Amino acid sequence: MLAAVLRRTLAVFGLVAFVQTAEAQDNISTGLFFRADTDGTTVLSPHVGARVGIVDDSTWVEVGYGADIWTSASIDIRTAATQVVTEQRDEITAEVERELDEVRLRGSYRYSDEHDYVSHGGALAVSQELADGNATVETALSAAIDSVSRSGDESFARELSTIGAKVTYTQILDPETILQVVYELNRREGYQASPYRFVGVGGDGRCNGSAQLCLPETHPAVRLRNALVLRVRRALGADFSGGLEYRLYIDDWGMSSHTAALQLAYVVDEDSTLMARYRFYLQTAASFYSPRYDLPMGRLRYVSRDRELSPMDTHRLALSYERNVDLTDAGPTVRFTFAIGTALLHYSDFVDLGVVFAFDATVAATVEL
């Protein structure tokens, strides 16, 4: 009962996904995401998908196709002294979900392909309602197998396998407040470096600079990642709702990160919602990362020029507007979403890269039966 009240409250504020209720209506969705940054990278990501209810409307099948068309002259490309690179990654997803009274089962598969990276992944999830729907526990197991190759080098072939588990506990505190705790454990084993990145040893750290030695990027083969997330959402009167989120991440490469996010939603009218979200992210470097590696006296085990392993912090602000529109008197209804975001990424210890500004925009539409 309380769960339903809260679900309605959150639905009003477009936060249904937080409660992880499935959309029962058949729909077709499409969207386009665009991102550009001052590091010379642009990404265009179209997506289409469909969700169909079958078997007494308690089983749903969802399929989707998406692509990332990626053009870059980023620091990685410039360091490798190659021309602007354009690549495309295609992804197909399929999901089956079945509702059995208070239990919801979900199985999904993902296939991703680009010319030098192929990935197969799957997940199984069980969600159970507790305490008359006032609490929900979801357990998910996932696995993926990736094959990494290098353009122009047929002899290069590496594997990466990933297994993971995630437990999500959602508790309704009162008719207007919901709390969620998530713990995720993830183990990756295999090749986790970039086949195109080389690390300068000695000198200024750049292979095309004054480095005396240039080594292929080498990372440890195993990585154990832990993440703990806390989220709170609350309806603030009739027209507003707010949310707070904190995420702690720790792995055995010596990295840790803290994420804090604040979200505010405003119901403009019965059919439209406006949302603002701010996110702050701060991470430490991996234990083996260094902006410059000195010539070692002995063996240098791991070297990296991955900016994602360097110390960094980001600020991101996003605005989104969602509106339901009836195409005709008879329907169907289309839900339009427009979103823009801007981010500032600050790399405090990375050679040749300090601050990057990024801009992104999303246009999406979902047609519901």
**Binding interface with another protein (CB under 8 A):** 1, 4-5, 7-9, 11-12, 21-28, 30, 48-50, 52-53, 56-58, 63, 65, 88, 90, 115-116, 151-152, 235, 237-238, 270, 324, 326-333, 367-369
Q: Minimum Å distance from CB 57 to another protein?
A: 6
Through-space distance between the first and last CA atoms of the chain, rounded to whole angstroms? 27
Give min distance, CB of 219 to another protein, in A: 25
Tell me the sheet residues that pair with 183: 167, 228
- Shortest gap between Cβ of 198 and another protein (angstroms)? 19
Min separation Cβ 331 and another protein, Å? 6
> Shortest CA distance to 240 belongs to which of 273, 277, 279, 262?
273
Q: Token pair for residue 272?
A: 């439209």
Q: 157 or 221, CB closer to another protein? A: 157
Give 318 or 367: the residue with its C-beta nearer to another protein: 367
d(CA 170, CA 98): 20
C-beta of 22 vs 229, nearer to another protein = 22
Question: Looking at beta carbons only, is 11 or 276 nearer to another protein?
Answer: 11
Question: Nearest approach, Cβ of 265 to another protein (angstroms)?
Answer: 12
For another protein, the closer CB: 1 or 185: 1
- Cβ atoms of residues 231 and 5 within 8 Å: no
At its nearest, how many Å lie between another protein and the CB of residue 140? 22
- 3-state secondary structure at position 17: helix
* In contact, 40 and 55? CB cutoff 8 Å: no
Token digits of residue 301: 């085990």
If the CB atoms of residues 21 and 257 are measured against another protein, the closer one turns out to be 21
- Largest separation between any pair of C-alpha atoms in the chain: 77
- In this structure, are residues 303 and 197 in contact, taking their beta carbons and an 8 Å threshold? no
User: From the CB of residue 222, how many other CB atoms can be counted at a distance below 10 Å?
Assistant: 12
Residue 137, token pair as written in the block: 């526990």
| Location of structure tokens 């990494």 | 148
**Three-point CA angle 198, 202, 207, nearest 5°:** 30
Residue pair 15/265 in contact (Cβ under 8 Å)? The answer is yes
Q: Cβ 45 to another protein, closest distance in Å? A: 14
Which of 191, 218, 192 lies closest to 296, judged by CA?
A: 218
Closer to another protein at the Cβ: 158 or 225?
158
Name which of 63 and 227 has its Cβ closer to another protein.
63
CA geometry: angle at 47 spanning 114 and 229, to 5°? Answer: 85
What's the min distance (Å) between Cβ of 113 and another protein? 8
